[in-house]
Amino acid sequence: MKDVLTKEDRVGNTLSEIDKFADLGAVYHDMEGSASSLMHGKAFCRLCAACVLHPKSGGFCRQAATSGAYQSFAIGDIYQSRCWLGLTFLVAPISIDGKTVAGAIEIGGILLPGELQNVQHQMLSTLSAIETKRNLALFVSSFQGLEEVP
């Protein structure tokens, strides 16, 4: 009897391989938003993890990734974009039948050299607009995990 992997198993295996070879964490977003996002990777930045799990900003992350997945699917290659906070990410579409996009795998958030100082204040301003000061501490502490990637 042949073992059949579920979509979640296959996505989890893919995220694990990305983590192993790219030293960057990754997250899977369902296109409809009906399933919770799957995160994987020891290198997945704390700021991205906080955003993906947050009730408001998680939707912004999913929207940026799924929009990028459609772009990626249209051009037939990995698509580079910026998330709603200004971090660079790479996105690849997941298609079961080769005709429709079922999900998106987002790799990032990536800060290019010299960007941390430039985007840090804008990020804090954006986060302040959606979060109370009491809960903002979670996001602010996650800035400590951001590193610039050459």
pTM, two decimal places: 0.79
Position 69 scores a pLDDT of 94
Answer whether residue 10 shows pLDDT above 70.
Answer: yes
pLDDT per residue over 81-137, tens digit each? Answer: 888 888 888 999 988 888 999 899 998 878 888 887 777 778 777 877 776 666 666
Of 45, 98, 106, residue with least CA distance to 81: 106
- Exposed, middle or buried, 28 (CB in 10 Å: 0-12/13-18/19+)? buried
pLDDT per residue over 60-94, tens digit each? Answer: 888 999 999 999 999 999 999 888 888 888 999 98
